[in-house]
Structure 1
Amino acid sequence: MAAKMDYFLPGEQLCIRDEWRRPASPVHSRARVWAPARLHFNVIDFFQMRPRIPGGGGFGFSTTGAHGEVEVSVGGGGSGGKMVPTALHLVRLFCELVGHDPSTVSVGVPRRIGSVHSGFGSNVTFNTAVLSGLNALFGTPFSVPEIWDMLTQNFVENADTDNVHIYWGMDTGVGEACLQYGGLVWVDQFARYVGNADTSGLFVVTARGDTAKLAAERVKSFGQGGVHGIGDADELESLEFCFQYQREYHDRVLPFLERRMKPALLRNDARAFLSHGWELNEIGTYVIMEDLWNREVLRGVLRTAREAGALYAMFSSAGPSLFAISDGRERAEAVAAALESGFGEYYDAFAVGEAGVKMRIELE
């Protein structure tokens, strides 16, 4: 049975802290935000994941292999109800905090990351770009950590059922950190930013998985049958299954992360961090992927990527879209060729991008 979703309209159910309220006025007329896709792997604690309260944590980095673009402007009558519902919600949130009329603000979307719920962070990338663009437009009245808190505590997604309503999503905070801080990021299970490691010289292969061809029986049994990837109601149903995994593996994962992977992050060594990923896959959330998607294909993808020279490979978020990160563009392109040759039946939109790049804002 499909989980019941509670949909609401933009501007309703705003989460506001008193200390966020401060007067501000537009300083610029337009902010153009370029935001790379984010890749997220290995949730640390599924029991901390719930709508309206950020948590769960994990690791991630951005890729320039896919990106979105947002234009935030003030004046000219605004775009009001014509905006994407999540954008309208964030505009009303921001304007409530700074004491500005939201009807004067417009959010245009020249380019959006496609394939919603495919693992590339189309929603978190969009939300981060919109609120960061608003902040820049008004002279940055809020710090990066404050914007991060606002985003994670107001994480909404567009309803799959219509173009009007939104709902509370489940947010780890990893996507926001990827775009705001860059590099390879670690966010703990309580949605606290731990730090990042430099990813200079690293390039990542991404490809979009065909959910219909890759769905295992468990995904097919969900209320929406994985039609939208793992999204909306299916996300809540998959979380119940993830709890079962955590009861078995959690006590093994936490010491591994603390003793093997965190030291590499803290000494700013992304390559060493990623080298432990193959072993993490034996006990981490990759274990869940094998029950959600075609096990033999997933195993073949990881084996092929490793043999072709990838530093690490995994499936982003809940999958089935893949990523494989390598040292240098040439190696990444070789990995991409090997994966496309072997698994082109199940994956498309292969791309090679630079890893760990921050979003970029241009002001007028």
Structure 2
Amino acid sequence: MPIMMIRGGDLDLVEYEFKSFLPGEITKTLGFEKNAYRLHPKKGKVFVKAPARIHLSVLDMNRFAPNHAGGGGIGFAIQCYCTAEVECTRQGLVIDYSRADIIENFVAVFNKAIGYTGGFKIKATDHEHKHIGLGSTSTVMIAVATALNEAVGSPLTNEQLRQLIGHNYVEETADGTIAFGFETGVGPAASTHGGMAVMGDELVLVYHHPFAEGKNVFIVVPPTDISSAGTKEFDLLMNRARTLDYRDRELKAYLFMMDFIPALERGDLKKIGNVVWEIEFRGSKRAEIEHHSYRIYQYMSMLREAGLEFVGMSSVGPSISIVTEKDRKEIQKILKPIGLEIAIATKVDNKGMTVTCKK
């Protein structure tokens, strides 16, 4: 596996080696296994439908790494869904999903944490919009985790599931193994509860509130040849982004607390959009956007000048999210001269995950 350099400041330069492993080989149960759980495996199937998320910004990139979840941040759920179907069996594990390794790894963690010795039959589907900033991995994982938990009698809370996912968050590697990835907890929190989630460090949900009820959400994907996955993502988040957050994290926290949350309480979409636009130029968000070139800023600026209330890039991009009262025809009219098209037309999901049990 590659050895990457991490620069946290002018005199802070260390090496980080990506250590790959097989599913279930490294399990972080967070001490949950010390509790005595009364498990009640259900007959039939548990079906979970979880909304995807738009991740607007990390609060401080210096507080997380591939093997250390956290960093805080903000994001909201959209009506674009991943699903999981789980059935308890006597033994064994059957997974129907294209990325079976990441599920197999979490099942090993979950079983060890609660002391479950039976088997599972799992089927998962994702929203098929991968590596554009909509969080397909985290959404599938919270759907699967919730279904597993429900299937054995719900021994863990939503917060405990989020912690297990965050501390065991993995991505596949080129050689067929897995490695720890980046996780702030924004995705699982937004998917679980719906609406807008504000996260603190250590995957703590600081604040949650419905967002933009009845408004339209449009996702556009500007053309880019720059990768935001794998070692490219690592280099971006662990170097330039960390340095900029070291300078701007206090300002970002102030904006979240003093402007963003009050605007959410009032339902003031324009004010929320103004705060998000300010954050686009601050700290790690600036590094993420500049990673795709300044053209992303040009696109977003033109959308703002056209009168759109809320414009922001999701995660490491390149997806741009638009939240507005305008309808599809009005948006298409704005996008056409810019050379962009609507990739996804949807709305905010303010309900969160749904769980259905079928005998």
Please report the TM-score for the alignment, with normalisation by the length of structure 1. Answer: 0.83
Equivalent position of 2:235 in the other structure:
237
| Equivalent position to 1:184, from 171, 196, 208 | 196
Equivalent position of 1:341 in the other structure:
336
Equivalent position of 2:121 in the other structure:
106
2:108 maps to a residue whose letter is: R
Contact 2:247–2:283 (8 Å) recurs in 1: no
SS of the equivalent of 1:127 reads: helix
- The aligned runs of 1:121-160 (5 Å cut-off) are 121-159=135-173
Distance 1:25 1:320, change over 3 A: same
Q: Which runs of 5+ in 2 are unaligned?
A: 5-16
SS of the equivalent of 2:111 reads: helix
SS of the equivalent of 1:276 reads: helix
Distance 1:308 1:137, change over 3 A: farther
Show CA shifts across 1:263-317 (max 9, x none).
334x363634344222333335442244211313x23322343244432111110
Contact 1:308–1:334 (8 Å) recurs in 2: no
Instruction: Give the CA deviation at 1:16.
Output: 1.0
Instruction: Give the CA deviation at 1:19.
Output: 3.6
Distance 1:268 1:96, change over 3 A: farther
Distance 1:29 1:2 in 2: 46
RMSD across aligned C-alpha pairs, in angstroms?
2.6
Equivalent position of 1:206 in the other structure:
219
| Equivalent position to 2:83, from 60, 64, 69 | 69
Equivalent position of 1:361 in the other structure:
355
Distance 2:93 2:218 in 1: 37
1:26 maps to a residue whose letter is: P
- The aligned runs of 1:1-364 (5 Å cut-off) are 3=4, 4-20=17-33, 21=35, 22-64=37-79, 66-75=80-89, 78-80=92-94, 84-101=100-117, 104-109=119-124, 111-159=125-173, 161-162=174-175, 164-199=176-211, 200-212=213-225, 215=226, 226=227, 230-239=228-237, 240-265=239-264, 267=265, 269=267, 271=269, 272-296=271-295, 298-327=296-325, 331-334=326-329, 336-338=331-333, 340-344=335-339, 349-364=343-358
Instruction: Give the CA deviation at 1:119.
Output: 0.4
Distance 1:332 1:144, change over 3 A: farther
Contact 2:217–2:324 (8 Å) recurs in 1: yes
Contact 2:86–2:151 (8 Å) recurs in 1: yes
SS of the equivalent of 1:354 reads: coil
Contact 2:48–2:353 (8 Å) recurs in 1: yes
Instruction: Give the CA deviation at 1:342.
Output: 3.9
Instruction: Give the CA deviation at 1:44.
Output: 0.7
2:354 maps to a residue whose letter is: R
Distance 2:96 2:83 in 1: 17
Distance 1:151 1:348 in 2: 32
Range moving further from structure 2, 123-132 or 331-340:
331-340
Contact 2:89–2:120 (8 Å) recurs in 1: yes
Distance 2:339 2:117 in 1: 50
Distance 1:294 1:198 in 2: 33
2:57 maps to a residue whose letter is: N
Distance 1:197 1:81, change over 3 A: closer
Q: Percent identity?
A: 22
Show CA shifts across 1:15-58 (max 9, x none).
11334542413124211121221110121101001123221111
SS of the equivalent of 2:221 reads: strand
2:114 maps to a residue whose letter is: V
2:67 maps to a residue whose letter is: R
Distance 1:342 1:285 in 2: 30
Q: Which runs of 5+ in 1 are unaligned?
A: 216-225
Contact 1:332–1:352 (8 Å) recurs in 2: no
Distance 2:273 2:201 in 1: 19
Distance 1:270 1:181, change over 3 A: farther
Distance 1:313 1:355 in 2: 18
Please report the TM-score for the alignment, with normalisation by the length of structure 2. Answer: 0.84
Contact 1:198–1:268 (8 Å) recurs in 2: no
Equivalent position of 1:218 in the other structure:
none
